[in-house]
Amino acid sequence: HLHAEDAVRLHGETMPSTVGDKRMFTFHAPVGTWGIITPWNFPLLMLAEFVAPGLATGNAHVVKPPANTPLTVLTAMEAFVAAGLPEGLVNIVAGEGATGDALVRHPGVDAIGFIGSSATGTKIQAAAGLKRSIMECSGNGPLVVLADADLDAAAKAAVYGAYLCSGQVCCATERVVVHQDVHSAFVEAVLRAADDVVLGDPFDAKVNLGPLNNEGVAAKMDRHMADARERGAKILRGGHRRADQPTDLYYEFTVVDEVPVDSLLSREESFGPVVPILTGGNDDELLRIANDDKLGLQGAVFTQNMTAAFRFVEEMAVGQVIVNDSTCFWDINMPFGGAGNRGTGWGRIGGKHTLLGMSDLRTGVFSI
């Protein structure tokens, strides 16, 4: 409903001309048919994040749902039909990567909307060529804890961002960068907060950490943990799969301290239930470590100093900086997306910004 409301306010403007007998104005027009490729972690939400603004701006859609969680999207299509959506405006084509590649290359597809990994996003963009695109790709934190931070609040936020959806969120707690003066106290607070994490059946009301979605994600966690051990990081909690579960995808909630900057836990998006802790000696070093990364989606900073908060908001190389809350904070009106010069994509998803991205800004010029 928010996109429907914003669509009626998607207005152009009248501009003065340097030529006296000319009148110029702008308006928004549909792009055409969008090829939409969505991930498996939020299959319904991310379908709606493209289709709702796309419909509101007059576009048609061909959607390739995630191969691991396609039934949610197919059920949503049944709801579209029941609601009376005109035939052809939303079309579902299920399949694996080859289906997505064919969709991206198809001459009848005018633009591409993608949410997923940076590796897949790179392949999509190479195939799409000059087609219009909105790309929301991988994230890697960070959550920065300054010396004056509320450590209990920061620890709870870090833990929450690691167990939410089993850490399978693009803005999860991928890296925690802590001031050395409060490092020990923060680690203790993280371990206390981790005591509240319960791994098990996600349909059990007492459980807040379920299994990973697929073997690829679990194997990546295994690789990251093996690399951390080899590099001398301290595994304070978890670090392995739990045996005797219905599947082999139940991963223990994991806390790792003294994480080297060049380790896989620091350099790559783990996409699992892990809190990797790095340390810096002062605010300059904390900011440098936070920005020493090829990705740049969303970060957070904990501090009670407004000047320091504004500095990190303005200088952290991510699309959004959350102050004194989890990196997983999200609001439907946020213009969500990555920072420039990073491997996280471009365009914004949320509020009016997706409407703008999914429409053409055009200009009319009249002679009087």
Mean pLDDT of the 340-346 span: 95
Is 128 found in the same domain as 89?
yes
- In tens, the pLDDT along 41-77 reads 999 999 999 999 999 999 999 999 999 999 999 999 9
Mean pLDDT estimate for the chain? 96
Is 102 inside a domain boundary?
A: yes
pLDDT at 351: 86
Is 199 found in the same domain as 348?
no
Widest pairwise Cα distance in the chain: 80
Fill in the amino acid letter for 288: R
pLDDT at 3: 77
Residues 34 and 124 sit within 8 Å (Cβ to Cβ): no
Mean pLDDT of the 262-272 span: 98
Compute the distance between CA of residue 151 and CA of residue 173 in angstroms, rounded to an integer.
Answer: 15
pLDDT at 6: 81
Is 133 found in the same domain as 182?
no
Is 250 found in the same domain as 110?
no
Is 118 found in the same domain as 46?
yes
Compute the distance between CA of residue 301 and CA of residue 312 in angstroms, rounded to an integer.
Answer: 7
List the one residue out of 11, 9, 60 whose CA is nearest residue 32. Answer: 60
Is 339 inside a domain boundary?
A: no
**Total count of domains within the chain:** 2
pLDDT at 1: 66
pLDDT at 50: 97
Is 114 found in the same domain as 132?
yes
Is 330 inside a domain boundary?
A: no
Split at pLDDT 50, 70, 90, the class of 332 is confident
Token representation of residue 236? 């304070």
Is 197 found in the same domain as 319?
yes
Is 148 found in the same domain as 276?
yes
Residues in the chain: 368
Is 64 inside a domain boundary?
A: yes
Q: What is the CATH number of the domain that holds 32?
A: 3.40.605.10
pLDDT at 7: 82
pLDDT at 2: 74
Residues 5 and 332 sit within 8 Å (Cβ to Cβ): no
Is 173 found in the same domain as 77?
no
For residue 82, is pLDDT > 80? Answer: yes
- Give every CB contact of residue 148 below 8 A, 6+ residues apart in sequence: 303, 304, 305, 308
For residue 160, is pLDDT > 80? Answer: yes
- In tens, the pLDDT along 219-241 reads 999 999 999 999 999 999 999 99
Is 285 found in the same domain as 162?
yes
Is 170 inside a domain boundary?
A: yes
Handedness of CA 282, 283, 287, 290 (dihedral sign): positive
Residues with catalytic function: 136, 170
Compute the distance between CA of residue 177 and CA of residue 323 in angstroms, rounded to an integer.
Answer: 14
For residue 325, is pLDDT > 90? Answer: yes
Is 116 inside a domain boundary?
A: yes
Is 333 inside a domain boundary?
A: no
Which domain covers residue 98, as residue numbers? Answer: 2-137+344-367
Element of type H or E holding 363 = strand 359-367
Phi, psi (deg, nearest 5) at residue 62: -120, 115
Is 337 inside a domain boundary?
A: no
Q: What is the CATH number of the domain that holds 302?
A: 3.40.309.10
Is 133 found in the same domain as 156?
no
- In tens, the pLDDT along 103-125 reads 999 999 999 999 999 999 999 99
Q: Where are the alpha helices (DSSP H) in 242-325?
A: 264-267, 283-291, 306-315
Split at pLDDT 50, 70, 90, the class of 287 is very high
